[in-house]
Structure 1
Amino acid sequence: MDNLLPKIKTVRVMLQGMGEQQDAVFRMAFKMHHTTHYEIITRESAEQPDLVLVDTDSEAGLASWRELKAAYPGVPVAMFAGKTPSETSPYLAKPIKFDTLFPVLRSLSQGGHIFEVSENTESAGEAPDSRAPRKTTIRRFSPRRGLLGALKAASHGHQDIAVLHEGRPVLIVFPSIQRVLLTVSAAELERLSKDDHLAVVSKIVPDNPIWKEKAKVTIMSCLWQMAIWTAQGRLVYPMTPQTVFTLKRWPNLTRLAPVPESMRLSAFLTKTSVNLNVLYKVMPLEMPDILNYLAATSVTGFLATDDEYAAAQAKAENATADSMNVSSDVPDDQMAKEAQKAVSPSAEQPRSLLQRLMRKLLGKR
């Protein structure tokens, strides 16, 4: 499904006023991040930055921030500081926290993560506590409906199946060779995948070697991509925030459509079991990214869930709750402690790979 995979986005970042260590940290972090390509540019570059980060812990840094804000009026110019800003501004707090760096950078590049100065804000105060409980409301979707449901059902059969919408074929599934022939454009396939009430018809087709030869997309990559398009930041039914899940094995992410933070989620979920509330607590990622990842891994069979989920799956047609609340304010029970241990430095796991590489780069032990 290479022609359908969204291209990795490039975000051009300008760093100003950084010391050698800070500059090295950003360069190493950007080098190891694969879902978005972060490119560092300079003021001398002819390219327009998508994001400017300015170290504002000095008066010179503040002056540089004001200058760059005027020089790039249509670009987010963010303060990178150890103290909360004295002016309303996009804001990245020091020190860099690798578990939240890229979600914050993504928000900054999209014009978000603004620190609002109010009368109650102390300019010399500490940065807001990123560990404060977060709450959000999520919606669910059924993977058995629409185009995704038809593809999933056809992939489990033994006959070649054409999936039609309004009398026209959208895709033809060949289970024997684990391939799919797409008969519409990627944009059209995405549009149809997002329609929960799409009327589709599955029809057996005769063996056709020419069609099979033209089928270049694997069923796995097609299911993965269509699950992301269908989910649209929703939780796959019948999972709930209390459903315990883990990964059976690591997906081959180099051959599948990118999901933000999929590398981190895969590494974490292959070594621990959590529910959505606990995951939201220990890995403060963007909820839509988490839910799209869960949809993709669930539909493709990589995600393993507990017995409660399996029982609920048998009653999928009796869905009642379409939306529910997720909160990171969960008790420190055994599951939460084990999950926190998996993402925190410890005697057994002193530092993450990125942290260890950075300490070597900076000449530390």
Structure 2
Amino acid sequence: MPEEEANLTISYVDLGVTDQAVLKVATGLLAKHNNLQVNILNKENIDGQVVIVDVDNPDGRAFYNQFNARSGRGLLLLSNNALSEHRYPVLCKPVRVQTLRDVIYDLYNDLKIVTKTPAHPTNQTQAVSTSTASVTKNVENNTIVIVAPPVQDAKALENNLFFVLLKAQTEQQCMQVFCPPHSPLFLDPKKGIVATSVSRENLRKMTHGEAVVTSSTKLSETDVEILAKGQLIIPFTSVLWSAAVYGSQGQLIPTHKSDVPVRLKAWPNLSRLDFQPIHMTLTTIMTSQSLSLQDIAQRFQIDWDTVAGFYNACFATGLLLINPVQPAPTMPSVSKEVATKSSLFSKIAKRLKLS
């Protein structure tokens, strides 16, 4: 079904002749396949709804550094290097027509005012019905009794993208990951990047477990550097987080247990991550007290898959304290200073009295 017809203006800063030609072809494809009419503004006009900037050149770098992220406009960066940028999409040159078209269309959708459907059901009745946990109804207090599923071994999780990403991060190993029918992901956890030509929608399918990992191959850093050319560069942490939160399928990291108290030591940077309101609730719960995952799911009646996915994401990004020891209360340093001063004044007073 064709998309609704609309107009989009694009400006560019410091783009070479070849990249300008690629942009023109990409906008033609948007008009043909997405019914999106794009107007590429003159070089001097930088007021487009989307601005494409080559940050390898001085003017492009200057524009990028001064760009107002709150301007309501989209920004796309082009570079010869695989930059890890959390705020704006990055394309590693040479730019490919299809990849550029997909990214522009994603930016266009970002600019539209739309009502997004949550990735996870917020209604607890719906959530429980899709959970992998064992669920029974407690008639006496009208609550749901949630029992976590058994933890699978690492071998059984080889087809799950999150656990493949976690392994790559743990071993600091570059990898190529296949999730047919989509294009592969090229991972470099040391540089903190994922390079791919998949569209945002297809990447969402991969991180949400709708496309399983069929195989993964180890690569060298040089391999990834070469394969990243022409690809969209995404922060490794962003993909890892989404794959954990939405694709863990109720499975905890092997050797981790649901009955051990945990606590968040810091808030996730949710402004840069894919999250739902329930994850804000979990963050509040897990920063204020130490509870086991089983207790969290049961006491607050939260779908087990949501609890497990959030736990995996927080552990993978270094935000968790497992079985934390509560620190002993300490007196503020100000009180100690006051006590010291009082003791000193007392000694002086005694000496004056003696004299």
Larger Rg: 2
TM-based fold match above 0.5: no
TM-score normalised to structure 2 length: 0.45
Which has a greater percent of helix?
A: 2
